[in-house]
Each structure stands twice: as C-alpha cells, then as structure tokens.
C-alpha cells in the first residue's frame, strides 16, 4: 500500500517543479518603468506581458505552501516564530515550505492530512489548467533504455495526468524523414509486441 505521506511528498515535489515553469510564464517585472533618461518606457496602454493563469497558479502555490507549513508547524507544537515571519516571498522559500510540508506531514491527524492533500491537489489542478504546463509537464520520460519500435529513438514518455489515460505512452522522437513519430500505446506493456515485430524485421 502507498503510504499517505508519499502522496503528499509526490504532490509537493510536483508543485516544486511547477514553480520555475510558472515563473517563466508569469509577467516579467516592468523594468522599463524605471528606465534611465533616454530609454524607452513601455507604453502605459500596453497589456501586461505574461499569462494570467500562470500568475494565479503561482501566487496560489506560494500562499498555500506557507499556510500549510504554518498549520503543520503549529500542530507540531511550534508556536513562534510563525512561518510567515520566517519565510520571504521568493521561489526558494516556497520550495523550502514544500519540503517542510513533506517532512512534517507525519504528525498530521486524519483531518489535517485531508486538508493538506486537498489543498495541494487544488494547486496542482490550477497549474494543470495552464495549457503550456499541461502539454509540457505531464509527461515523464520512460527510462530503462526503452526504444521506440518505429523510429528507434529513446524519446518515449508516459502521461502522468491521472484524469486522462494515465500511463499512456507516446513517442516524441522523429522518423528518418524528420517527421514527428507520435506513436502511442495505451500501456507500457503494449509496446512489447511492436518491439518484437521490429526485431524480427531487423
Ligand atoms: Zn518513435
């Protein structure tokens, strides 16, 4: 059986990976507003660069990581200094808060555990709604030297999204012609017969 704490660790690990990706898509600071004389400032009417969904998801992860760390520390008996006083707003501090959640989850009772895991899952859902993350981040490379029977490349990836065909395998390699391979299988095991056929064909 999976240890409930492992699920929290997995969720925190995924969120920690998503933060830098969301950061890249969130609006860049408007440095031109403080441009030196002679430099061109961004026109006031120009829309903010970046992606509102990324901003929202990122802000939520920052807030939730600190809140949950605080609740868990409180449950563990630490009354002060509070986590909000201890951690600034940087991405590194959010990563630290997520790591602290992982290490503290063992002290949570059932109610607190459910609160923590449901909050983490909601943040993951928000990040998934950001399309670039959905497309780029839900695939994990299939290790172990698995080779695509069609293009002979080792670019097989497994879909992680539990809501859409989890475990589906897709090839992200290219055929000899240079065209994307895009071979897919419902399960890793389904590749095996194709591999056998490819070996027979030499
Ligand atoms: Zn392939």
> 97-135 pLDDT, tens per residue?
999 999 999 999 999 998 999 899 889 888 877 655 555
Average pLDDT, the chain: 78
Q: Does residue 127 sit in the same domain as residue 144?
A: no
State which of 81, 111, 135 marks the end of a domain. Answer: 135
Q: Does residue 131 sit in the same domain as residue 173?
A: no
**What is the Cα gyration radius of the chain?**
22
Q: Does residue 154 sit in the same domain as residue 186?
A: yes
Q: Does residue 9 sit in the same domain as residue 70?
A: yes
Containing structural domain, residue 18: 4-135
Q: Percent of the chain beyond pLDDT 70? A: 72
Q: Does residue 122 sit in the same domain as residue 22?
A: yes
Q: Does residue 167 sit in the same domain as residue 98?
A: no
Q: Does residue 128 sit in the same domain as residue 168?
A: no
* 189 C-alpha to ligand 1 centroid (Å): 16
pLDDT of residue 168: 80
Q: What is the mean pLDDT of residues 35-42?
A: 51
State which of 135, 161, 177 marks the end of a domain. Answer: 135
Is 194 within 8 Å of 187 (Cβ atoms)?
no
* 141 C-alpha to ligand 1 centroid (Å): 13
* 175 C-alpha to ligand 1 centroid (Å): 7
Total domains in the fold of the chain: 2
Between the alpha carbon of residue 3 and those of residues 97, 105, 106, the distances in Å are 21, 11, 10
* 157 C-alpha to ligand 1 centroid (Å): 10
State the Cα angle at 61 between 127 and 134, rounded to 5°.
10
Q: Does residue 8 sit in the same domain as residue 34?
A: yes
CA-closest candidate to residue 117, choices 2, 1, 4, 32:
4
Q: Does residue 181 sit in the same domain as residue 102?
A: no
State which of 135, 166, 191 marks the end of a domain. Answer: 135
pLDDT of residue 47: 53
pLDDT of residue 18: 85
Q: Does residue 116 sit in the same domain as residue 155?
A: no
pLDDT of residue 112: 93
Report d(CA 177, CA 186) in Å as an integer.
25
* 148 C-alpha to ligand 1 centroid (Å): 5
Confidence of residue 64 (pLDDT cuts 50, 70, 90): very high
């Amino acid at each position: 059986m999976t240890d409930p704490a492992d699920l929290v660790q997995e969720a925190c690990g995924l969120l920690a990976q998503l933060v830098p990706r969301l950061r890249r898509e969130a609006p860049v600071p408007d440095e031109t507003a403080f441009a030196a004389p002679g430099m061109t400032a961004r026109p006031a009417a120009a829309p903010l660069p970046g992606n509102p969904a990324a901003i929202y998801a990122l802000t939520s992860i920052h807030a939730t990581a600190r809140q949950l760390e605080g609740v868990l520390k409180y449950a563990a008996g630490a009354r002060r200094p509070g986590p909000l006083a201890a951690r600034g707003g940087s991405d590194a501090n959010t990563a630290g808060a997520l790591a602290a959640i992982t290490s503290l989850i063992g002290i949570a009772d059932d109610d607190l555990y459910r609160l923590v895991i449901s909050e983490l899952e909601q943040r993951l859902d928000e990040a998934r709604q950001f399309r670039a993350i959905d497309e780029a981040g839900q695939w994990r490379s299939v290790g172990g030297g698995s080779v695509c029977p069609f293009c002979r490349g080792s670019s097989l990836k497994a879909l992680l999204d539990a809501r859409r065909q989890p475990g589906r395998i897709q090839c992200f390699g290219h055929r000899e012609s240079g065209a994307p391979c895009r071979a897919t299988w419902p399960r890793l095991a389904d590749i095996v017969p194709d591999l056998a056929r490819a070996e027979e064909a030499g």
